[in-house]
Amino acid sequence: MSIYSTVFLANEFAQEGTRMRCRERADAADNRKLILQTARSLFDAYGVNEVSMHQIAKTAGIGQGTLYRRYAHKGELCSDLMEDTSHALQAEIEATIARLRADSAEARLGAVLDLLVDFIEAKSRLLIPLHNVYMSEKESSAFFRSPFYLYLKDTISSLVEDAMPAAGNDCPSFLSHTLLSTLNPIAYLQLRGDLGFSVDEIKQHYRKLFLRSV
């Protein structure tokens, strides 16, 4: 076999390997899309707590091994479902801040508080399993290093700094962390359910509590 034939075959093998890896990536992307669509449909129909990983795999028509290779537990699946939603919330926050740029920092902070309450109201069924997973981890503070939390903390801290430029450096960070810690989905549903507060009432109380602090 000539050197040219050897090089040709090597190139063919390399290209075939690349094509196989591309097909594998495409298959993995298709499986992820199928799993997420199936899970979202089942969660909407029955609620997150009532749907098992076995039910998701069976409805999607895939093996449980395929599902568990992608998601070790339902919390990871909920986290993936939340990713697009959290990006949408970030975009909405940025658009709201830009729209209210000429208004006071208090007005911008109040609008962001409203968006966070609306977000939890709409997505609590996904947020609660995710919250429970974080709390069951050996290092339960992992959420506070997540990109989503850090984005919200930095954004709220910036708004607080704009509203109170003479305050000490620790105050905006303390307020933003305290705010986000109180807005956990389990406590929110307690406000909505057992304590009987409406969404608008919760927004008003959060505005009074945290805008008074700035």
Q: What's the one-letter identity of residue 71? A: Y
Per-residue pLDDT band for 214 (boundaries 50, 70, 90) equals low
Going by C-alpha positions, the residue among 176, 170, 173 that lies closest to residue 210 is 176
Q: What is the CA radius of gyration of the chain?
A: 23
Per-residue pLDDT band for 102 (boundaries 50, 70, 90) equals very high
Q: How many CB atoms lie within 10 A of CB 77?
A: 25
pLDDT at 75 over 60: yes
Over residues 35-56, the mean pLDDT reads: 88
**So what's the pLDDT on residue 22?**
47
Q: Between residues 49 and 3, which one has the greater pLDDT?
A: 49
Dihedral angle, C-alpha 183, 186, 187, 192, nearest 10 °: 100
**So what's the pLDDT on residue 137?**
53
DSSP state of 52: -
Instruction: In whole angstroms, give the CA distance from residue 91 to residue 78.
Output: 20
What percentage of the chain has pLDDT greater than the value 70?
Answer: 78
Per-residue pLDDT band for 196 (boundaries 50, 70, 90) equals very high
Contact in structure between 191 and 117 (CB atoms under 8 Å): no
pLDDT at 1 over 70: no
Instruction: In whole angstroms, give the CA distance from residue 169 to residue 153.
Output: 14
Domains of the chain with bracketed CATH:
1-71 (1.10.10.60), 80-214 (1.10.357)
CA end-to-end span of the chain: 80
Over residues 54-72, the mean pLDDT reads: 93
Tokens describing residue 160: 């607080």
Instruction: In whole angstroms, give the CA distance from residue 100 to residue 33.
Output: 36
Q: What is the pLDDT of residues 116-160, one digit of tens each?
A: 999 999 888 777 766 666 665 555 566 777 788 899 999 999 999
In the chain, DSSP finds a helix count (H) and a strand count (E) of 9, 0
Going by C-alpha positions, the residue among 127, 122, 171, 174 that lies closest to residue 148 is 127
Q: Between residues 28 and 154, which one has the greater pLDDT?
A: 154
Over residues 181-195, the mean pLDDT reads: 90
Q: How many CB atoms lie within 10 A of CB 48?
A: 21
Over residues 76-85, the mean pLDDT reads: 78
Over residues 187-192, the mean pLDDT reads: 91
Average pLDDT of the chain? 81
**So what's the pLDDT on residue 9?**
44
The answer to whether the Cα torsion of 68, 70, 72, 77 is positive or negative is negative
